[in-house]
Chains A and B, each alone.
Chain A
């Protein structure tokens, strides 16, 4: 087919620029919002998913990670004696107050674990090691929050809930969904920081023996323990994600913004392709008079839309990559997995071709006799 679609598209460069701007805007908005959604979702449950545990045991009524209430750590022995349990460790996850060197306070989430069997422990360490948490007052925080917490160097001493704490390591990329960064400590140190009684824990993390039947293990544990909820890592992760993203409305807000981006993109592309079609209406009428089928004419319009989609997608991806990279040092991560990039290609195509249907409807109704009018 002679390049009618491509030539018509490039014929009016101003209009093409408007079309591509609309597509890029839509792509960037959707990528940022979906990326934020993915980032937020990941941040709500990253401690759970990187815990290395198979099961999470918490007090009855558990709905999400930060909701846990302390219970007797005596249950730990009952858990450890259950067949199918390879290891089980008590775990603390509780809010705390961090005092910056300048006197300001910041909220943090204290995470207490066994450094020798670091289920639920820090990952992606850029300085120090998990074993360093065994020393007195030791904590590990994430590099992202150094400025927020007033941290200037490794070994720095600060206060948590009025207790002395010393930074022995940093991690990279452990974000918290709430504004409170995670602070990792040994179980004992965390108990001190949190002013917890010695026999209290917030969770028991369970690692099953290899090839264990998880449902059977859960039933065994439920039969032995009272007043607890037992969830697999996957279940607990999903529950926590759902709570923060949907029950609070945060996720819906970003998804709505993504939908808005899609609608704006469709409207802009539809308007410019329609305007281009109107400019070339006489040509479409001529094509009809020459004997072109409606399908042939639709192909020209759809080719125009598809070309716009491809060009806009490339530009949109470049812009998105820059924005995503720029967000890495910020508090909110915009995650951009390859699946999102591929999905955006098809969504962009769909958006542009869908927008072209307004024009297709118009050319369907062309009266070919119009070609005889001078």
Chain B
């Protein structure tokens, strides 16, 4: 089965003065539809960079990124927003809700980007907030929502465009463990129900039971591939690339 997203031999190199920093070094990862993958590693290991490359926010220096089989690495910058809009939803550590819009309007904004407006947008936004369990908060502004409620709105917003892939960067970091578990339960159930491939960057080892697969990344490379918990999602064979930082 074709993965929802697959990165192959991806490298991302930054210049820092005369030195080159390899944020990613020959990374391979494929995520199937409906699979929940946790991406774990110490700070500076390249987790967010990998998420950014998978999310078509950053272009890799080398390698392949395929979304639903379509190669997106190397596309011109101006084509990437359309790719993100069509295939990818994001959930952020800081929620990144629009403070001047209500919960419902935040979701409607995502729908507006997809060309869904008016009553259709309102109805769909209601459904999405219902799915995440906070329909009654439709007209409430983010300032009056709890952390968990804000993240639910963010999840609803991320799913508004019916993405193939959901990328979440530390979605529970700003939440207490109880609320964080509820959020990850929600993400997992939605992923399985809607067939969305989910990649979650997290430091929190207490939440591992919500992952279908764990992927560890250190110094820009995936170092310990974990076997998938569910037989339907077999671990993808991963290569270990040598660490390399070139100096002046």
**Residues of chain A at the chain B interface (Cβ within 8 Å):** 1-4, 7-8, 11, 282-283, 286-294, 296, 368-369, 371-372, 374
Contacts and interface: CB of A to CB of B under 8 A. Distances in A.
B108 A296 contact: no
B16 interface: no
Contact of B109 (A4, A288, A369): A4
Contact of A290 (B52, B85, B94, B105): B85
4 pairs of A and B residues whose beta carbons are closest in the complex? A291-B85, A7-B100, A291-B84, A2-B105
B164 interface: no
10 contacts: A1-B109, A1-B117, A2-B112, A7-B100, A7-B101, A11-B99, A289-B84, A372-B48, A372-B92, A372-B93
Given A289-B90, A290-B85, A4 B51 contact: no
B92 A371 contact: yes
Contacts of A287: 109, 113
Given A2-B112, A4-B98, A372 B85 contact: no
Contact of B94 (A289, A369, A374): A374
Interface string B102-133: 00011011101100010000000000000000
A4 B100 contact: yes
Classify chain B's interface size.
35 or more
A288 B157 CA distance: 14
Chain B CB within 10 Å — which of A2, A282, A293 has the most? A2
A374 B58 contact: no
Contacts of B110: 290
Interface string B157-184: 1000100000001100100000000000
A303 to B, nearest CB: 13
B57 A374 contact: no
A296 B48 CA distance: 26
A186 to B, nearest CB: 73
Contact of A283 (B51, B84, B98, B113): B98
Contacts of A289: 55, 57, 84, 90
Contacts of A374: 93-94, 170, 173
Given A2-B101, A290-B84, A292-B81, 19 more contacts: A1-B117, A2-B106, A4-B98, A7-B101, A282-B96, A283-B99, A290-B113, A291-B82, A291-B83, A291-B88, A291-B113, A291-B161, A293-B82, A369-B52, A369-B58, A371-B96, A372-B57, A374-B170, A374-B173
Given A1-B112, A2-B108, A4-B100, A372 B84 contact: no
A2 B157 CA distance: 13
Contacts of B92: 286, 371-372
A368 B81 CA distance: 10
Contacts of B85: 290-292
B81 A293 contact: yes
A247 B119 CA distance: 63
A4 B84 contact: no
Nearest to A282: B96
A4 to B, nearest CB: 6
